Amino acid sequence: MVDLASAQHKICAHYRPKSFVSDLLGCTRNARRCVYKPSMAIAPRTVVEHVLDRLAQTGAEHVFGVPGDYSFPITDAVCRDARLQWVGCSNELNAAYMADGYARVRGIGVLTTTFGVGELSALNGIAGACAERVPVVHLVGMPSVAAQARRAVIHHTLGDGDFSAWAAMSERVSCATSILTVQNAASEVDRCLAAARTYSRPVYLGIPADVAEMPLSALAPPMSTQPSVKESSDKETLHAAVDAILERIASARSSCVLVGAIVVRLGLRAETMQFVDRSGLPFASMWMDKSTLDETHAQFCGMYSGALINDEVRDFVEGCDLVINLGALLSDINTGIYTARLDRMRSVTISRSTVSVGAAVYRDVHMRDVLRELTARCTRCSGCSWPTVHGLGAPVGSGDGPILAGYLFPAIESFLREGDQMFAETGTISMGLLAARMPKGADFINQALWGSVGWAVSAGIGGAFADPTRRTIIVTGEGALQFGPQEMGTAARLGIAPIIIVVNNAGYLTERILCTDPDMEYNDVQPWKYDALPNAFGCEGWRSTRVQTCGQLRTALLEASSEQCGTLIEVVAPRDDMPVVGSSIRAFLQSLRGESTTASSEVK
């Protein structure tokens, strides 16, 4: 970073800062403003305009973030660009979650923060996007090149003259990073955006405040819609891999497909569905991958999570002669705390760029190409049978009775309709809804790998921005909500109307399941008046209610279905009541610790 600053020092030498702020920003704050005109046939005049032009071309329509002095040139340019809407958030972590949720729905998300304090506050959210393969573009406003060149002791630094530390931290959770200059911006922006498309992971663009408003050194060429990295499969290896897969399918008496979320991240839902339809093979999903394909499809055989959820599905999947894994990650959560029993020698694993058939590995073959060739060459399976999907069934409970898990989660399942997008919080919320059968065209979106508590509300609101034509339902716990409820106000300010269901069970129920003593005080949280939060955050016109009985919940859900406004439903539930999956996890962990499972088996 210091070398970069030195190289650009001459570029900035003609600027003569007249104030502290202009010194840090590079003294371009009073430069003539260039308002973007979509009909113009010339390239954007400045570096930041070029960046925003490319982002708009990728399909982004919103930019999430928190303003800061170093990032003013970026946020100013966003607000001037007719194609983009600025979404100012309450803090950078929430903004990162919102960009993550937006990208899961839209295919690309954009976050902007200021140098140091802003980007580090967002880093947890960026790391989650990296882990779960979500393409978020992180724009960081940096101090001017001149300030960096002289190693100035300025705010948002450690006072040591080092301006490279924060970018280095982000590099570990990004698939591409760059500090833009007037000379490299035309190529580096395209390189990083191509990497985001190719690998479906975050990218980092540092933009010094003075560089942002400088003109590009050359006209930028038209943006390529193709990745700049080599992504074509080796033809001979591709044919060999597909031959081996087809041979395994032909020799297997029973086969099934495990469909992973990477299918969605890489934009391969249609290709995967074509293969499933053509082959006639049944498919199942794991925790992280729920609703990757239509759960109303005749070949869907249910959710598979080792020993934790459905014995019939487990017996079927593990009993198949062949399991074709389409990018499903064999993590602790997906495999039901490693209770899944999948024999590698009876498996085919198709990842983004590698295929494994038993012990044989084929490299430089890409999932898109494999799916297309498999679909073209496979024959339809006949005589196959698989489990029938039942969902959660009817809610169990009386009208004036308490809201137990056996009523709550089936009631939410019944509330869903075609085309909905549901964001489910990590922990017992996802546990309770894992076996719910999603309606046609509905998406279940969770964060099963990174598992950052508090993600769902902000991510869900980001998803609602990405597609406001769909009904967005967010289900979270009251402990998770306390991490970042403020973005409800952001949603209301900009006309977004999600339905938020908050399960208030007096603390961190997920932690009570996982720890040795559920009564430990660290599992308690301060009681809030959750139904009062929309009013406190200025959510004018929202409906908010607190329910304590099954009948009250049924009424609240009916009202939410008929209204077109933002809604918050606080569901008061018993402290220790948990979904069946939670009981299974607690019993499993107790058995590992050699503890009695009698108490947990009584919790239903």
Instruction: Look up the CATH number of the domain holding residue 480.
Output: 3.40.50.970
| pLDDT above 50 for 331 | yes
- Tell whether 258 is covered by a domain: yes
Q: Are residues 172 and 288 in the same domain?
A: no
Full domain range(s) for residue 278:
235-377
* Domain count for the chain: 3
Q: Is 62 helix (H, G, I), strand (E, B) or coil?
A: strand
Distance set, CA 461 to CA 4, 79, 85, 117, 216 (Å) = 38, 20, 15, 24, 35
| pLDDT above 80 for 7 | no
| pLDDT above 60 for 38 | no
Q: Are residues 173 and 34 in the same domain?
A: yes
User: Which pTM value belongs to this model?
Assistant: 0.91
Among 69, 70, 111, smallest CA distance to 94 is for 111
Per DSSP, the residues of 359-381 read TEEEES--HHHHHHHHHHH----
CA end-to-end span of the chain: 57
- Tell whether 384 is covered by a domain: no
What are all long-range contacts of 227-231, with beta carbons under 8 Å and residues at least 24 apart? Answer: 227/194, 227/195, 227/197, 227/198, 228/190, 228/191, 228/194, 228/195, 229/194, 229/195, 229/198, 231/198, 231/353, 231/366
What is the structure's pLDDT at 224?
62
Q: What is the C-alpha separation between 91 and 118, in angstroms, rounded?
A: 8
What is the structure's pLDDT at 45?
84
Tokens of 560: 């939410």
- Tell whether 224 is covered by a domain: no
Q: Are residues 193 and 304 in the same domain?
A: no
Q: Are residues 539 and 415 in the same domain?
A: yes
Q: Are residues 548 and 462 in the same domain?
A: yes
Which of 163, 180, 212 lies at the terminal end of a domain, its last residue?
212
Q: Are residues 153 and 195 in the same domain?
A: yes
Please give the residue that has the higher pLDDT: either 514 or 382: 514
CATH number at residue 372: 3.40.50.1220
The β-bridge partners of 472 are 421
CA torsion angle for 595, 597, 598, 599 (degrees, to 10)? 90
Please write the tens of the pLDDT for every residue from 93-145: 999 999 999 999 999 999 999 999 999 999 999 999 999 999 999 999 999 99
Q: Are residues 182 and 317 in the same domain?
A: no
Which of 159, 181, 212 lies at the terminal end of a domain, its last residue?
212
- Tell whether 159 is covered by a domain: yes
- Tell whether 391 is covered by a domain: no
Q: Are residues 369 and 468 in the same domain?
A: no
- Tell whether 574 is covered by a domain: yes
What is the structure's pLDDT at 217?
80
Please write the tens of the pLDDT for every residue from 193-242: 999 999 999 999 999 999 999 998 866 667 665 444 557 899 999 999 99
- Tell whether 103 is covered by a domain: yes
| pLDDT above 90 for 601 | no
- Tell whether 58 is covered by a domain: yes
Q: What is the C-alpha separation between 374 and 368, in angstroms, rounded?
A: 10
What is the structure's pLDDT at 384?
84
Q: Are residues 427 and 478 in the same domain?
A: yes
Q: Are residues 355 and 263 in the same domain?
A: yes
* pLDDT band for position 487 (cuts 50, 70, 90): very high
Lowest mean pLDDT among 80-94, 287-301, 338-352, 585-599: 585-599
Which of 328, 361, 377 lies at the terminal end of a domain, its last residue?
377
Among 69, 210, 236, 58, smallest CA distance to 136 is for 58
Q: What is the C-alpha separation between 460 and 603, in angstroms, rounded?
A: 30
Distance set, CA 345 to CA 128, 244, 320, 403, 566 (Å) = 32, 13, 12, 46, 51
Q: Are residues 30 and 83 in the same domain?
A: yes
Q: Is 424 helix (H, G, I), strand (E, B) or coil?
A: strand
Per DSSP, the residues of 347-358 read EEEE-SSEEEET
Q: What is the C-alpha separation between 479 and 210, in angstroms, rounded?
A: 42
Q: Are residues 55 and 190 in the same domain?
A: yes
